[in-house]
Structure 1
């Protein structure tokens, strides 16, 4: 089974432009993320896939591997799908470019999902984190996921799911952590299938898989990491790095 990692990387970002090229402990955020992913030793290959000459040169000038996107893309999954279309691979794991604190244990859990899936019933796998803070549960920027008894995703939403009409039934809330592991065919299917209303409404790309009948295995992790979406996040990341 050939397993690679792809790190989609856009230069532009509405909340924090050029965030991937900001300094984190003496190196750029994207280079830190790339090096941390390589250092896990979990992958046959690791690539940054980008629409930016600046990010491309940053990786290759430091001895890394990068791919320039040919087309414009709305999301990281589309960017990855274009890049892997002609590659001889089985599984591709999407590591977010703005998460330099790569957690090896969580990535290993995602890989094990496919190694244990002899019948190939699982199209993709992703991570979820148990959350208890009410502000976070109610925050529309926090994507929540509900699962069945075998941890297959039922739905993702920015709303509170499940709705707590009855508060004393032992419901747990899970935040979706946007690290995905795909079978190659699943991500190619995603690339070719049009967006449907639920995904368009929620602006959550993995809903497209559910709308087309794909099966998403969710893996629980207790490692939240640090997503660098704002200058304040970067400041916090630099303190952690030290």
Structure 2
């Protein structure tokens, strides 16, 4: 599979090889998992030991990490280790071995697992966390982070053209450029748009989070209602004057309410 984020891949690989950790944040569908798999493959080809995990219960995650790293999951008597025992065995192993953890969809990890990752981070175990709008706390606040930006138009058109070819869909350059506007630089949406085109579905509202600022519309409305008041004065119309005044006050109240809302999400990446 072609990787369209070669720059990010080189940067992340360099950070991990230096023994540091990193948090990669991006909107859903931006290619976090593909990037994580590419980095994991690159490290494995270089002979590094690593574990790749996705959301599960804490014990399941610990067992998967232990299995991939080759950590014993039983004690001297042959009994299965408890969750606490698994944590200790993994910590002891990573204290003497160089290995990487790659955690996809880390925002879905349990608080207990995130606390364990904090412990590993304090012991300088290099890890890569991939997440969509993770909560602004614990391990997510302690790691340096990068945010994946929307792909460039050329890359999105390339993805759309390749997927159209897979579907046997004949798409011209002009039509491809028009469909691209619905993707917002999101590779997953690029594939979905082509699937919708193949099925003959109508255009849908964009899913990406590139929001429009409504402040100019509020100001324009306020000016219109102010003009209504002026016209009311000019025509000596008490009704127009009162209506304009009431509506101006309402728009002003709405503007105050909008500006009083929290400007930032409590989650990273928003």
TM-score w.r.t. the length of structure 2 is 0.23
Greater relative contact order, per chain length (Cα 8 Å cut-off, separation 6+): 1
Higher share in helix: 2
Higher radius of gyration, 1 or 2: 2
